[in-house]
């Protein structure tokens, strides 16, 4: 993490933004898929329409890219490649959302954007326009996008006016809670590439505020006030993690911080930011769920605990744990960053969508 601290957050973010910019390609149709940049409910989206056989209804997917709520774009080569393949190979209309990013737009801007797009797409007139079967629509996302997908699926349960129910939610190494940033996965993978702990702490804190006081509190895991202590039951890894994932780690209860931070940044305890904090009553109505977790990932335990909680409540869950994979592995699925693990995980994802959507 020394390198990140020396570079400073803004320099690092600028470099990452530059990579995002360089990696982003214009909307280009091919013989299989028509690709256009448009807006749904005033939010920019990249729309992928399969050109396959015109008969019958198609499936629908609303996809949210990762990047710690600060980075990323639906048009990045790796996301474009994945959306194109899902659309073409599975005859799926894919709506890939370019939600507003932090630090310019803090929580809950990203959530509000993806939620508005999902609600817009789920209208029966819109589904009909794109010939999408209302019984076969899912939300999906990786990393921070998995966070947004989980939050959208939960929030839709509270919306009586949205008549179309999601068939599935697909959460690819999702980030699901800001309550405990000292889980075994955070300890085991503190300095792993792609997403070291210091960077995840920064993404979380930037999502809410640029104030160093928040980042410092989160870095030392002292950002949760005593009045929120009851929420720790939902992230108590000594209860929710399978024995083999706890390793030699001992559970220490939370170190509670001052209430001032949570009052200043209510997002810290908001379910739309930390879907893992939802009550059982809310979680038990969620749709069929696919969760991918990677062993070498600070976010591993977020996904594992969500899978365990959902299963315990009778939600249908497929939880794939990739023992040999790291955070962001799916991005490495084409030249020059071509990794066999990325191809394997992507094939598995395609297979699951095909069988379950």
Catalytic residue numbers, as ranges: 143, 297, 327
Q: Which of the 8 DSSP states describes residue 45?
A: E
Q: Is 257 left (phi over 0), alpha (psi -120 to 50) or beta?
A: beta
CB contact at 8 A, 285 and 157: yes
Distance separating alpha carbons of residues 304 and 284, to the nearest angstrom: 17
Asked if residue 121 has a cis previous peptide bond (ω within 30° of 0), the answer is: no
Phi, psi torsion values for 254, nearest 5 degrees: -65, 150
Nearest of 254, 306, 301, 253 to residue 275 by alpha carbon: 306
Sign of the C-alpha dihedral, residues 94, 46, 275, 161? negative
Distance separating alpha carbons of residues 124 and 327, to the nearest angstrom: 36
Take residue 310 and report the two structure tokens written for it.
Answer: 């959902």
Take residue 327 and report the two structure tokens written for it.
Answer: 């955070």
Residue whose token pair is 């076969």:
136
Take residue 51 and report the two structure tokens written for it.
Answer: 């050109």
Nearest of 286, 317, 314 to residue 304 by alpha carbon: 317
Burial readout 118-138 (b: 16 or more C-beta within 10 A, e: otherwise): bbbbbbeebbeeeebebebbb
């Amino acid at each position: 993490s020394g390198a990140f601290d020396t570079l400073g957050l803004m320099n690092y973010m600028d470099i990452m933004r530059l990579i995002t910019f360089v990696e982003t390609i214009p909307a280009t149709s091919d013989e299989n898929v028509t690709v256009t940049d448009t807006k749904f409910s005033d939010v920019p989206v990249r729309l992928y329409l399969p050109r396959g056989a015109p008969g019958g209804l198609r499936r629908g997917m609303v996809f949210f890219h990762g990047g710690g709520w600060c980075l990323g774009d639906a048009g990045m080569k790796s996301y474009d490649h994945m959306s194109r393949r899902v659309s073409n190979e599975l005859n799926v209309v894919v709506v890939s959302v370019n939600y507003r990013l932090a630090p310019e737009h803090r929580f809950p801007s990203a959530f509000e954007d993806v939620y508005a797009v999902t609600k817009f797409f789920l209208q029966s007139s819109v589904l009909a326009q794109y010939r999408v079967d209302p019984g076969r629509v899912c939300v999906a996302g990786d990393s921070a996008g998995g966070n947004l997908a989980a939050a959208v699926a939960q929030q839709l349960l509270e919306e009586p006016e949205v008549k179309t129910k999601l068939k599935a939610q697909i959460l690819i190494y999702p980030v699901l809670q800001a309550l405990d940033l000292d889980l075994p996965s955070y300890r085991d993978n503190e300095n792993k590439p792609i997403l070291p702990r210091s960077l995840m702490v920064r993404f979380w804190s930037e999502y809410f505020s640029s104030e160093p006081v928040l980042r410092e509190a989160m870095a030392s895991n002292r950002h949760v006030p005593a009045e929120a202590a009851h929420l720790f039951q939902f992230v108590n890894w000594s209860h929710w993690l399978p024995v083999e994932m706890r390793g030699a780690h001992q559970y220490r209860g939370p170190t509670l911080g001052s209430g001032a931070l949570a009052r200043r940044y209510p997002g810290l305890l908001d379910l739309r930011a930390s879907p893992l904090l939802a009550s059982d009553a809310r979680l038990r109505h969620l749709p069929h769920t696919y969760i991918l977790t990677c062993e070498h990932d600070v976010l591993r335990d977020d996904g594992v605990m969500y899978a365990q909680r959902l299963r315990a409540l009778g939600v249908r869950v497929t939880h794939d744990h990739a023992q040999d994979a790291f955070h962001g592995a799916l991005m490495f699925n084409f030249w020059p960053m071509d990794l066999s693990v990325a191809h394997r995980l992507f094939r598995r994802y395609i297979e699951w969508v095909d069988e379950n959507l």
